[in-house]
Amino acid sequence: MYKEIAEEKFNKLKKEFKTRDIIILAIESSCDETSVAIIKNGREVLSNIISSQIDIHAKFGGVVPEVASRNHLMAINGVVKEALQKANVELKDVDAVAVTYGAGLVGALLVGVNYAKSLAYALKVPLIKVNHIKGHISANYIASPNLEPPFLSLIVSGGHTAIVKVENFLKNTLIGSTIDDAIGESYDKVAKALGLGYPGGPKIDKLAKEGKNNITFITHNIMPNGFNFSYSGLKTAVINYIHTKKQKNEEINIPDVCASFQHTAVMEIVNKTIKAAKKYKLKTVVVAGGVASNSYLRETLSNLGEKEGLTVLFPPMVLCTDNAAMIGAEAYNNIISGEGLADLTLTAVSNLHLKYSVK
């Protein structure tokens, strides 16, 4: 019964989106942020509440999956209430419930997925399943409401490093990706080796401002040709440098290590992104994922991109790292394209990949 009602309402939303407002309640719980947002017409953020567990996981030096699920469970009800209240929206006004179903930590995802299923069932509204990485790209539609595909997207997060051609709301073509570690992962691991704690990205970003790019990290792995990446070699080179210094009892200039690592890591993605934009004749570059909040990447890609006549878009900081507003934006794009409707059998898919066609 629910399934038929949801299907009918979903088809109605697809038909009526140009003539009426669509209110989506979106839930994100793939890692260590419990987030709920209320989004109007896929572009207007009425509320975007983010309850972060960073302080809890920092004690362990990284995200502990069981601890993450337990904290999502404790937080989610309150976060939903706060999101509705802040948006001044009641449950009866919600047209669809959207949820991240992958990729991410399975136990963490399941909290959001099960909550979303119960809510959609109780409200008798469509349940929309959202791919987390596509959500990161869609953060840019909120920041730049007139943005439309095709464009080039650089996805840089804790789990992904990829250059993708976004052909339309549904189709992506993979141009290049990492063959080992993701860039965010290399930031986190280098930070851990330097004793900076979790999450490493923002800490390295800050310290690098006080340092000089004066250390050359020899990486045999950074891929000179094509559009693929390798961050494992760079991470190992930095860790080896730190170990050698420690063995020799020599002082480590942490800001210089941060600045030098960051320069190598960032230039690799900047150069390949600009090369890809030229090759595929795309004038707009859209950056997505947690590492999009990195100040050196924002500055370098914007400046060098501009020199090449590119428009480079970054979401505001709060929409770069995990949040539910981006999930709502992506759900809206799905609804108006007639995609993404899930039923009550929806489950979490921890290793969900972006569906690409490959060039």
| Contacting residues toward ligand KG4, per CB under 6 A | 31, 136, 157-159, 184, 187-188, 199-202, 205, 289-291, 293-294, 321-322
* CA dihedral angle for residue 314, residue 303, residue 261, residue 137, rounded to 10 degrees: 20
Q: Which is nearer to ligand KG4, 319 or 346 (CB)?
A: 319
Task: Provide DSSP, 193-227.
Answer: HTT--SSHHHHHHHHHTTS----PPP-S-S--STT
216: number of Cβ within 10 Å: 11
Smallest gap from residue 157 Cβ to ligand KG4 (A):
3
Determine the Cα–Cα distance for residues 320 and 338; give it in Å rounded to an integer.
Answer: 26
Smallest gap from residue 195 Cβ to ligand KG4 (A):
15
Q: Which stretch binds Zn ion (CB under 5 A): 14-22, 163-171, 302-310, 314-322?
A: 314-322
Residue 184 interacting partner from ligand KG4, Zn ion, none (CB closer than 5 to 8 Å by kind):
ligand KG4
Contact 251, 202 (CB under 8 A): no
Q: Which is nearer to Zn ion, 51 or 157 (CB)?
A: 157
Name 76's Cβ contacts closer than 8 Å, sequence gap at least 6. Answer: 27, 29, 34, 36, 111, 112, 115
Residue 187 interacting partner from ligand KG4, Zn ion, none (CB closer than 5 to 8 Å by kind):
ligand KG4
Of these, 63, 322, 333, 335, which contacts Zn ion (CB under 5 A)? 322
Task: Provide DSSP, 5-43.
Answer: HHHHHHHHHHHHTTTS--EEEEEE-SSSEEEEEEEETTT
CA-angle at 89, arms to 86 and 92, nearest 5°: 150
Determine the Cα–Cα distance for residues 110 and 66; give it in Å rounded to an integer.
Answer: 12
Site string for Zn ion, 144-183 (x = CB under 5 A): -------------x--------------------------
What angle, 0 to 180 degrees and rounded to 10, lies between the N-to-C axes of helices 200-208 and 183-193? 70
Smallest gap from residue 162 Cβ to ligand KG4 (A):
12
Residue 176 interacting partner from Zn ion, ligand KG4, none (CB closer than 5 to 8 Å by kind):
none
DSSP reduced 3-state for 273: helix
Smallest gap from residue 51 Cβ to Zn ion (A):
15
Q: Which is nearer to ligand KG4, 101 or 187 (CB)?
A: 187
Q: Which is nearer to ligand KG4, 29 or 294 (CB)?
A: 294
Question: CA separation (Å) from 332 to 31, 97, 287, 335?
Answer: 22, 10, 20, 5
Helices assigned H by DSSP within the chain: 2-16, 54-58, 65-87, 106-123, 132-143, 183-193, 200-208, 232-247, 254-279, 295-307, 317-320, 325-336
Q: Which is nearer to ligand KG4, 126 or 290 (CB)?
A: 290
Q: Which is nearer to ligand KG4, 341 or 348 (CB)?
A: 348
Q: How many residues bind Zn ion (CB under 5 A)?
A: 2
Residue 223: phi and psi, rounded to 5, are: -85, 115
Residue 127 interacting partner from Zn ion, ligand KG4, none (CB closer than 5 to 8 Å by kind):
none
Smallest gap from residue 35 Cβ to ligand KG4 (A):
11
Smallest gap from residue 236 Cβ to ligand KG4 (A):
17
Residue 159 interacting partner from ligand KG4, Zn ion, none (CB closer than 5 to 8 Å by kind):
ligand KG4
Q: Which is nearer to ligand KG4, 95 or 205 (CB)?
A: 205
**Token pair 């929206």 is at which residue?**
89
Half-sphere exposure of 295 (CA within 13 A, CB side): 9
Q: Which is nearer to ligand KG4, 33 or 95 (CB)?
A: 33
Q: Which is nearer to ligand KG4, 41 or 350 (CB)?
A: 350
Closest residue to Zn ion, judged by C-beta, is 322
Residue 291 interacting partner from Zn ion, ligand KG4, none (CB closer than 5 to 8 Å by kind):
ligand KG4
- Going by the DSSP 8-state scheme, the letter that residue 346 receives in this structure is -
- The residues that touch Zn ion, with contacts defined as CB under 5 A, are 157, 322
